[in-house]
Amino acid sequence: MSPESKKLFNIIILGISFMFIFTAFQTCGNIAQTVITNLNNTDFHGSGYTSMSIIYGVFSASNLVSPSVVAIVGPQLSMVVSGIFYSLYIAVFIQPATWAFYTASVFIGIAAAVLWTAQGNCLTVNSDENTIGRNSGVFWALLQSSLFFGNLYIYFAWQGKTHISESDRRTVFIALTVISLVGTVLFFLIRKQEDTKTPGEEDSQKEVLNSVINFYYYVFTEKSIKLSFTKEILLLSVTTAYTGLVLTFFSGVYGTCIGAVNRFGSEEKSLIGLSGIFTGVGEILGGGLFGLLSKNNRFGRNPVVMLGIIVHFIAFYLIFFNMPNDAPIAPMEGTDDVAYMIPSKEVAIFCSFLLGLGDSCFNTQLLSILGFLYSEDSAPAFAIFKFVQSICAAVAYFYSNYFLLQWQLLIMVVVGFFGTITFFTVEWEAAAALVARGSDYSSI
């Protein structure tokens, strides 16, 4: 096998491994709160919302040290160990215990930071300037397909279920644990690049390793802190915060709402899976469409972000009218309340699609503008982006334990409005600077 073929093979295996792991994990996150509210075991007092809040909070902090861990351990072993922790977290649901549930939440937060850092390293090592675009696309497509398979399984497995029994729960989570472990084992198939170091280079390996660790510490602490207080980053942080709130809503809260509506009849639990599928359709459609348009977009990024906020506001409006106000925090019996219309399954699933489509609008354009503004040194900017997004997701999961649906929607509307304004401001200034240099605005 040629070196180029070996690199492409590694990228495909990397994507398939992540597809298996996140088929299990994203499905778990989507149904966690619903499963917990259906537990018959009164000794368990955990909350799916609180668990996800812990995960995202620990993930944010762990990003400061994960590059050093990957540099010392190596990307392949880092991903294998991280995959094991993902599998252990999912396995906790087979026989839930409160202490194990929250302990696993902490460990998976650390594992997530290490896993994604190692993924970036593996993608970079197996790409060059001519293949990075293709390889990123292959990985992204395989990863996003995880939204289909797990949720499709839930849709059929829970068809006709109004209550999730102990047998139903164990069957689903044993299957998800096995799927996650399969993805973890596949990491071993990633082939290491041939070692071309001379004896002299081998002797200096320790010094190089220390340099890498020091570099990452500098990039992810000192440079990130300095960059955090620049005007552009402060403005874009509002937009980034909004993506964190929306991430929480569509990945954990909205599925719980759908599963709690008794008026959906025997389909209320299986609709959680269908909701996840249509969210994935929106994400993939938007990501692919706006990724292609970005190459030949003479109007810049603002129209895409405007489309995103309009799509989200329509979704919030329909959800407000369609879903009962107490749906996010409904008890095991669900809710029989009605909002401003008789709950419609079609409207609920359509809103799932809109949430995914709008989210892709914001994320693609945020990544685009960060790459444009900080093309010479993007690592600190993307570190801040991930940190702010994760912190806000953690906060949103925490208040989801207590806030009724209307207040959660209101928070997203307010933050989304101001986030759109701040994004427009940065984009206008970037366009003005580009024109001042005599460049074409469409080149951004």
pLDDT of 129 reads 60
Distance CA 238, CA 60 (A): 17
**Closest to 15 measured CA to CA, from 189, 261, 219, 161:** 189
- Note the pLDDT of residue 443: 43
Residue 261's beta-bridge partner residues? 335
Q: What is the pLDDT of residues 186-200, one digit of tens each?
A: 999 988 765 444 555
pTM: 0.79
What pLDDT does 331 receive?
A: 80
> Using CA atoms, how far apart are residues 68 and 73, in angstroms rounded to an integer?
9
Q: Residue 62's pLDDT is what?
A: 87
Residue ranges in the chain whose pLDDT is less than 50: 195-197, 201, 440-444
Rounded CA-CA distance 51/72 in Å is 29
Signed CA dihedral, 255, 260, 264, 267: sign only: positive
pLDDT in tens, 400-427: 989 999 999 999 999 999 999 999 999 9
Residues 6+ apart with CB under 8 A from 233: 227, 381, 384
pLDDT of residue 218: 54
335 backbone dihedrals φ, ψ, rounded to 5°: -130, 140
Residues in the chain: 444
